[in-house]
Amino acid sequence: MGKSQLVRKIESIVGKGNVLHRHTDLLVYEYDASLHRGLPDAVAFATSTDQVSQLVKLANSLGMPFLPRGSGTNLSGGTVPSHGGIVIELSRMNRILEIDEKNQRAVVEPGVYNLTLQNALAPLGYFYAPDPASQRVSTIGGNVGENSGGPLCLKYGVTTNHVLGMEVVLPDGAVVKMGGKALDQPGYDLTGVFVGSEGTLGIATKITVRIMRSPDAVKTFLAIYDSVEDAGQTVSDIIAQGIIPAALEMMDRLVIKAVEESVHAGYPLDAEAVLIIELDGLKDGMDRLAERVIEICKRNRVRNMEVAASEAQREKLWTGRRGAFGAVGRLYPSYLVNDGTVPRAQLPRVLKKVAEIGRKYNLPIGNVFHAGDGNLHPLILFDERDKQQLKLVSKASDEILQACVDVGGTISGEHGIGTEKLQAMWLLFGWKDLKAMWMVKRTFDPGNLCNPHKVLPGIETVEVSAAHAG
């Protein structure tokens, strides 16, 4: 089928003016927040489930790959086409369909920004627990695809713990409902396996989430350290004492500098590391809990501790932390951020290894991460226009991932496998482990058209098996 014919067919589904097909327009959709590039054949802006279904059916009829995309803040290449095809853009499906306080649920379209949902809930006294740093711009649909975390996930869990049902357009275009406001639906937990499947099993067009009462009281600390080890040990000690803060985040010197220059939140420029520690819950006993936390920080040689005295001050601290990835753009034009996650007790050891690797390749590495759940984010800083550097960055990244796996960790805590970590999956899994996942992929998408070549390596083997099966 010729290009103009394809465009006409798409236009007949979403309307003229809702399709991008000129090269200059498509370039904008050639990338996401990772280092991967891939040009789509067309970008279609859908505004209804029916349109999504028709677009998927069209792609099927042409044997053409397709993939969903929200804001494109994906950090592993999940929203960049690997083999061309149709990008089904969902940002215009951005309505909050229902906030149901009685049932403690909200129903949203996939293009709703995470923060938009939070802001709609806050005045009612509710919040939606998964709060990724990208929340201002990442969509709920994207959060579902990646099983996003966020600082609050230490205490409250990640996206999969808060998504209770969905309407999904399957890779053949059929529309199916999974789960809903009620709990414990019999049968295999298709909702559960869909969350975190990175857009490879279908496209969510309605999402039912759990909302929770906002906590009675919140206390936020900034703890300032002269060594990364001391900060890391503090994290281990807090958890070991049986205290589960709402959030426990760390930033090192390099990141602090970038962040402070960007938001002026009062971060100390001469500190080696800071921790943001947030406690929440009933106000009864919170002061005593806070005392215990301060005590632990002091035992680990904290230089200074500041308590956010107002909501505005608290917001500033968090704005700084959330803006960290963007802020390092002041220092270097490009970054590759790792997402290795390790058992908490291994944190100090792995941080040391990360620093060693940085020195080995002469690359600056900033650290900003969810210390409480062992989810590192080493930011390897460089200029991607320097192809030599890009090679070194890739090597450094591989070594960091290996270091995480060596201590019993995993290669991705929340940013997804996408294209970027496809081969790194072999560090964790053998073929029989991956084959079970291919069984799931084949169940949902036997034609392998839905965001192909993402998440699962070894497609060559699968295709051969299928051919042998006749």
Partner 1 sequence: MLDRKTRRLLRHALGEDNIMEGVQVKHYAVDGFQPQVVLIPRTRDHVERIVVLAHEEQLAVVPWGAGTQMGLGNPPRRVDLVVCLHHLNRITNLDPENMTITADAGIRLAMIQESLSRHGQGFLLPLDPPCGESMTLGGALSTNASGPCRLRYGTLRDMVVGIEVIIPGEVEHGGQTRAGGRTVKNVSGYDMGKLYIGSLGTLGIITEATCRILPPPEDRATVVGAFSGSEDPWRLVEALQESQLLPSCIEFYNRETASFLTTNSNVGFNSEGGAWAAVGFEGISEAVSRQIEDIERLARSDGVKEIQLLRGPREKAFWQRYGQIGFEIRKRNPWSIGLKVAVPLSAAQGMSKSIDDKLLRMDVAAYQLSRGGSGISYAHMPLSEKLYREKEKSLADMVEALREEAGDSDGASVVVEYAPPAFKEKVDVWGGVGGMLPIMERLKKEFDPQAILNPGRYVGGI
| Segment 138 to 167, residues that bind partner 1, using CB under 8 A | 146-147, 149, 153, 157-158, 160-161, 164-165
Beta carbons of 1 and 46 less than 8 angstroms apart: no
What is the Cα–Cα distance from 293 to 304, expressed in whole angstroms? 13
Assess 402 for contact with partner 1 (CB under 8 A): no
Q: Rule CB under 8 A: is residue 68 a binding residue for partner 1?
A: no
Give the three-state DSSP class for 18: coil
Q: Which of residues 254-283 bind partner 1 (CB under 8 A)?
A: 281-282
Q: Which stretch binds partner 1 (CB under 8 A): 40-48, 269-277, 315-323, 434-442?
A: 434-442
Minimum distance, C-beta of residue 182 to partner 1, in the bound complex (Å): 4
- Exactly one of 38, 77, 374, 458 binds partner 1 (CB under 8 A); which one? 374
Could you count the other beta carbons within 10 Å of the beta carbon of residue 218? 17
Nearer to partner 1, 70 or 409 (CB): 409
Shortest CB 464 distance to partner 1, Å: 13
Question: In this complex, which beta carbon is closest to partner 1, that of residue 84 or of residue 215?
Answer: 215
Closest distance of CB 218 from partner 1, Å: 13
Binding string to partner 1 for residues 335 to 354, with x set by CB under 8 A, is what?
A: ------xxxxx---------
Binding to partner 1 (CB under 8 A) within 284-303 occurs at 284-285, 288-289
Residues 170-189 that bind partner 1 (CB under 8 A): 170, 174-189
- Footprint of partner 1 on residues 103-122 (CB under 8 A)? 103-105
Asked if 460 interacts with partner 1 (CB under 8 A), we say: no
The nearest distance, CB 403 to partner 1, in angstroms, is: 14
Q: Which residue has the tokens 């290669």?
A: 411
CB of 175 to partner 1, least distance (A): 8
Smallest separation, CB 316 to partner 1 (Å): 26
231 lies in the site for partner 1, by CB under 8 A:
no
Among 373, 382, 420, 450, binds partner 1 (CB under 8 A): 373
